[in-house]
Amino acid sequence: MTKRMKRFFLLLVSILLFCSLVIIAFVEQWRETEAGIVPVKTAVLLHAVNQNLVTTDTKAPKLFTSSGTPPYKRETLNIPMSDGEEISIRIYEPKAEGPHPIIMYYHGGAFMEGYGSIDTHDNIVRALASRTGSVVISVGYRVAPDSIFPTAVEDSFEALCWAVQNATAFHGDPTKLAVVGDSSGGNIATAVSMMARDRNGPKITAQALFYPLTTFKDIAFSSRETYDSGYYLLSRNVMEMARKYYTPDEEMWNHPYASPLHADSLENLPPALIITAEFDPLRDEGEAYGKRLSESGVAVKAIRYNGVMHGFVSFYEVMDRGNHALNEAVSYLNQAFHGETEYRPYDLTIYENSLIIEALKERGEAYAIGGYLLGKQVVSTFSSWYKQGIFTTGVND
């Protein structure tokens, strides 16, 4: 190796080392949030979302996603509601021979137009379809401000009944039926479970709730006070807007299908998996609902994932804890379909961290994503400067 090549090599190594140190320094700084230090991967994703570098429904890089032909076929339909209107549903039917269990999925999005849809939550539904081998039906219930409570829950219950009545058309097994939802969709899943009980509707085998909203009342939950700024992907402002537009009449807040936490009776409801997140304003009310269910004789499995924020399951392709939570739901639903859930006294499991090797892998991925985000910010800044004419020479044309 010539001296020139050695100097070039040393220069290249020095530049890479310097860039790496800069990336690490920035990422470690991002960990310092208003509510304390957060894990490195969480910090990177929160920074990306809050700086508008990505959105919560941005597709993960191909590096983190699996390729190949999916084991299901997908079809979007419009189905009639009892009031003469129609809603959209998306059916993910396994290609394997049926009949298959049926999972109804209710997406999050604060009950409001523009905050969530069957499209924004497509990645979660695809994963459930692939990993459970079930028919998964994503429900496009009507939302506020055009449609107020109880339209969303009535749509969702009618979609459940439609699925049972038409199960043979998509090779579904109506005797194995589950409801799943996240955030506001978790609220809807609880309401649908109650409606099925109260109206002698389809028998639901299990419910899986990701960080559900369980009350519209002004309850002094610690998590609401600590994590409501919006930095953790759900703000007090959005929650108040949801209440204002979805439940404009205060009397609606008391209805069990809106605020299931305060229902007179939670008996005879399906077994429930409740997953909550440490940095989430909805954490405490989700766990309180799980405890009330258990006290009412319902089998409950409750898991809090520390170090993550509201909506973290949507990031399962790049967050180990999101993927772990999704797999917990898959395992729980498959066990429920085989009659393997049983009642135990309420016990909240805290998921702290992964194995050391997985933690190191996650840190490395976080720095890599951090480097990409920094590069994106630099390019965006220079592009902005260029458009503003900062790089002009000042020479007249």
Residue ranges of the domains in the chain? 20-54+360-387, 66-353
Is-catalytic flag, 117?
Answer: no
Between 345 and 380, the higher pLDDT residue: 345
Q: Which CATH number fits domain 66-353: 3.40.50.620, 3.40.140.10, 3.40.50.1820, 3.40.1280.10?
A: 3.40.50.1820
Q: Which of 224, 278, 215, 277 is nearest to 247 (CA)?
A: 215
Active site residue: 47, 107, 255, 310, which one? 310
pLDDT at 63 over 60: no
Two structure tokens written together for 333:
């639903």
Q: What is the pTM of this model?
A: 0.88
pLDDT at 194 over 50: yes
Active site residue: 155, 182, 228, 280, which one? 280
pLDDT tens track for 320-349: 999 999 999 999 999 999 998 889 899 999
Is the preceding omega at residue 150 within 30 degrees of 0, hence cis? yes
Two structure tokens written together for 256:
């069990």
**pLDDT attached to residue 396:** 47
Mean pLDDT of 150-175: 98
On the 0-12 / 13-18 / 19+ scale of CB atoms within 10 A, 191 is buried
**pLDDT attached to residue 45:** 81
Is-catalytic flag, 310?
Answer: yes
Is-catalytic flag, 183?
Answer: yes
**pLDDT attached to residue 40:** 82
Mean residue pLDDT of the chain comes to 89
pLDDT tens track for 219-259: 999 999 999 999 999 999 999 999 999 999 999 999 999 99
Confidence class of residue 367 from pLDDT cuts 50, 70 and 90? confident
One DSSP character per residue, 257-303 reads: TT-GGG-S--TTPPPEEEEEEEE-TTHHHHHHHHHHHHHTT--EEEE
Active site residue: 183, 259, 294, 314, which one? 183
**pLDDT attached to residue 268:** 98
